[in-house]
Chains A and B, each alone.
Chain A
């Protein structure tokens, strides 16, 4: 497998392919046609088009990736020699929990890891929550981590301040095992490897990243890391969530994917969104992480089921479709139309990731239209 490292790095980070397209390609060459990734890259452009039905952009991307294989090999050598490992989705070492939870559409093609990778296939829980969590939430986190450690369950956390850090520290304190899911490339985590040196060499900590090994920390990566935390865990505990931010969107995303998520039932005076999450279908738990009996009069209204309440981002996508409706718009114009409380930059980034949106350059500004539609641009409209 290690000889394939440069190839996997190339495939896993194909620009703007998304997990689904990459995984479908892997399914096709690895499972259906039973050839190795090296053989796949050695195929002719003709085969890529004919057998794998790849379009021009995809072929161009793959050719570019192929040209970078030698460069990747230099990186891979440095990477492997320092004890990092690369686990492709085709490997039996890849987390089965992650595959089951994220499926083809969301499972990353490779995991970059360092530490005891056997932990990946143990029973696991994730503890998530705010960076600025209350004392109560931290104590809850400690309780849950303690119980997990006693029960030989691995604690998955995201190495952020607050609840994440508490979850890790507590798991270590109670001699349990932990997975750290990084919001950055694994080779940029040097100081962490120094801090957790003895836990890593003793097999109690595994560090995981799904990003390009040298990628520095970025907000987007922190957001993209959240589904991995949820995906790696059999059970999810929420210590504290506000009404926006990483924890919130992570839980919402998890509920949408049909996950059972435990949320700490807050006390009356607490100001957080835990109760709202419980209303949205999360399972309330007490201070020790025990499920609160159904008879408990927690829910005033019936929990809204997933099917009835479409996910926020899904409905946003629909709104965008409707808003654009044949006209190319700038992000600013869209913001106004959607009455969205976002910055134009954030919307720009969001739009670029949508597969039904096409970008039209108008002077120096990006305008967006629906893919395939013959939208007229603003400038033409006004002449």
Chain B
């Protein structure tokens, strides 16, 4: 097919006038059955480089993509052009996925988007046996490389797949963010027959700013004052999940339309937010970097980071979504020297201790185990278990196998010993990248040039689009008015305890504060572990405030409290005082059936639940039958204890149980 012929098809099918030269260069190779790595910036039109050939090939093109949002978006677009495109992902029901797999088997799907993890699925593998496959595409190919900013173990398998594919099958790997090192890594892994096409990464329409501050409060105040003044709508990236919550509550308090977005949301909420974003329903979306926001929205007008990312490449990737339409877009990075600690702790704490690795290896050597079983055997949390598993798979020490539809881990005989030097090298590389990110803050030269250089784009450009090269610098001055607003907000905002379930009559409760983000945590710690006496009165006041805010004038019949493990009568005394103020009777009849270990020694939720299972009872069931009950505790962590008690009280006939605690921990999932 000549370019001229192809462009006639292009006009007819895609309603686009012509290809860019670099697009055609890639497409020509693909039509010849070659393998191509395409590195082009966001907005270049990478997707067309596989969508076009896919539309002219006879069979089905399979696209591995880690971004469900992006899959959905592209499928919508292709469908509107009359090209049969579908996606298979974990957010659809198994029935929906099976239906699509069936259509693919019958040759009814031209373009099929799937997550790399699907390669673990039996039904999918069996379906591929009946499919007529034309091409394989690896989107976000930087995920292949451990040196990239978003390494994903499932991509390793895609590399292995590519190596097994017949020689004449075209393969396209695409990314917008690959340093030279990542590029070489991808090329080396895929093998000798791949050619690279690299475009320039300069984004002329960006206006780049760095705002230096001295506290979290300064960020909150500047944003509260200035977000409404920024043109259009955009994205605010925060460092943690808790921060997305705090920022959205703050904006809510100020009447700025916004919504939070993080990996903890269910699929339905995420889809609703993505759709709302497309329709500019909010001034801003507040998100963690857990989601690449793989959304083809042309007019994201600003992207602001309240937290410094781990590396310039993370940063380039995250700001890359702004201004795809080429119109001016504002890019702001806040930096408080303290902020360095979070990415540092990610890097330093990214790897569990060697002992934990050994514990996992020893467990898998004796038994074929699934993830849950592995967590129980080793008393490790989900996050370290995942990291350890991925590393051990990567190092060829264990492998994943499917046993009766369940994923299990098996030891590989004669495998090499754990290589901790590899972790060390990676850790040092990451610390160096973080230093480069700090250097971006400090640079007095062009910020865009800094990013392009870092990414290996050495082409010459006129760089005049940042606060070092012509744009006015942003300086933060907090007015007393804003200081006042912020402190009023702080005293009116209380974290929610999500405990509602169909298994008990519990309702969502409230905490007076987050543990660790204010003086509340320190006060609790003093009392519990340093013989500091009863919980101080300011905690009682704050808890009462939180209670009123959450439950208003709702009536309760009885106050009960969680019986202690070891810290004596602190909670009992606190509950008595609390009940006295509210003029509700307090009961001492919730008791332990057996001694339990302190919850904090268990590192994962299944073990915590097991520790407290069937360990409580209520001595006078009659007094709670049909009653509304307030359940008091000091610290809410995994919620396992509160939920267990909720079940017990429900079984004894309590009509409603509302937990109220002094502090909720930030722990658990950060992003």
Interface residues of A (CB under 8 A from B): 2-3, 5-7, 38, 41-42, 66-78, 80-83, 116, 190-191, 193-194, 197-198, 200-203, 214
Contact = CB atoms under 8 A, between A and B. Distances in A.
B426 interface: no
Contact of A69 (B131, B166, B367, B401): B166
Among the interface residues B400, B403, B414, which one has the most CB atoms of the partner chain A within 10 A? B403
B413 to A, nearest CB: 5
Contacts of A201: 365, 410-413
B119 A78 contact: yes
Interface string B387-399: 0000000000001
22 contacts: A3-B164, A41-B166, A42-B167, A70-B133, A70-B136, A71-B131, A73-B164, A74-B119, A74-B133, A77-B157, A77-B160, A80-B160, A81-B400, A82-B399, A83-B401, A190-B402, A190-B403, A191-B403, A191-B404, A198-B366, A200-B413, A203-B414
A75 B132 contact: no
A3 B129 CA distance: 18
Nearest to B126: A214
B125 A75 contact: yes
A69 to B, nearest CB: 4
Contacts of A72: 129, 164
Contacts of A41: 166
A68 B368 CA distance: 33
A82 B368 contact: no
Among the interface residues B163, B164, B408, which one has the most CB atoms of the partner chain A within 10 A? B164
Contact of B401 (A68, A77, A193): A193
A59 B408 CA distance: 42
Contacts, number: 96
Given A67-B132, A82-B401, A77 B164 contact: yes
B75 interface: no
Nearest to A77: B161
B165 interface: yes
B403 A74 contact: no
B389 to A, nearest CB: 14
Interface in B399-425: 399-404, 408, 410-414
Contact of B367 (A66, A197, A203): A197
Given A75-B125, A201-B365, A201-B410, A81 B160 contact: yes
B412 A70 contact: no
B368 A83 contact: no
A190 B132 CA distance: 28
A82 B166 contact: no
B404 A190 contact: yes
A67 B130 CA distance: 11
A116 B413 contact: yes
B169 interface: yes
A193 B403 contact: yes
B413 A203 contact: yes
Nearest to B411: A201
B128 interface: yes
B130 A71 contact: yes
A38 B166 CA distance: 8
B128 A74 contact: yes
A210 to B, nearest CB: 19
A76 B164 CA distance: 7
Contacts of B408: 194
B164 to A, nearest CB: 4
B128 A83 contact: no
Contacts of A75: 125, 128-129
A360 to B, nearest CB: 30
Contacts of B160: 77, 80-81
Contacts of B126: 214
B161 A74 contact: yes
B525 to A, nearest CB: 46
Contacts of A7: 166
A42 B167 CA distance: 9
A2 B437 CA distance: 41
Contacts of A71: 128-131, 133
Nearest to A69: B166
B167 A38 contact: yes
Given A197-B410, A202-B413, A70 B401 contact: no
Nearest to A200: B413
A191 B404 CA distance: 7
Interface string B354-379: 00000000000111100000000000
Contacts of A214: 126, 129
A38 B165 CA distance: 11
Contacts of B166: 6-7, 41, 66, 69-70, 73
Contact of A197 (B167, B168, B368, B412): B368
A82 B402 contact: yes
Contacts of B411: 201
Contact of A81 (B136, B157, B403): B157
Interface in B123-178: 125-126, 128-133, 136, 157, 160-161, 163-169
Given A73-B161, A75-B129, A191-B404, 9 more contacts: A6-B165, A69-B165, A71-B133, A81-B157, A193-B368, A193-B403, A197-B368, A203-B413, A214-B126
Contacts of B368: 193-194, 197
Contacts of B125: 74-75, 78
B340 to A, nearest CB: 39
A190 B370 CA distance: 14
A193 B400 CA distance: 13
B366 A3 contact: no
A77 B119 contact: yes
A194 B403 contact: yes
A190 B403 CA distance: 5
Nearest to A116: B413
Interface in B565-617: none
B169 to A, nearest CB: 5
A70 B399 contact: no
Contacts of A42: 167-168
A81 B129 contact: no
A73 B400 contact: no
A145 B311 CA distance: 62
A72 B128 CA distance: 8
Contacts of A83: 399, 401, 410, 412
Contacts of B131: 71
Interface in B83-138: 119-120, 125-126, 128-133, 136
Contacts of A203: 413-414
Nearest to A203: B413
B126 to A, nearest CB: 7
B161 A3 contact: no
A200 B408 CA distance: 15
Contacts of B366: 198
Interface string B266-297: 00000000000000000000000000000000
8 closest Cβ pairs, A-B complex: A74-B128, A69-B166, A70-B133, A73-B164, A77-B161, A82-B401, A190-B403, A73-B165
Contacts of B365: 201
Contacts of B167: 38, 42
A97 to B, nearest CB: 22
Nearest to A202: B413
A302 B459 CA distance: 92
Contacts of A68: 129
A76 B166 CA distance: 12
A2 to B, nearest CB: 7
A190 to B, nearest CB: 5
B169 A70 contact: yes
A78 B408 CA distance: 14
A42 B165 CA distance: 13
Among the interface residues B125, B169, B411, B413, which one has the most CB atoms of the partner chain A within 10 A? B125
B459 to A, nearest CB: 37
Contacts of B164: 2-3, 5-6, 72-73, 76-77, 80
Contacts of B414: 203
A363 B445 CA distance: 86
Contacts of A198: 366
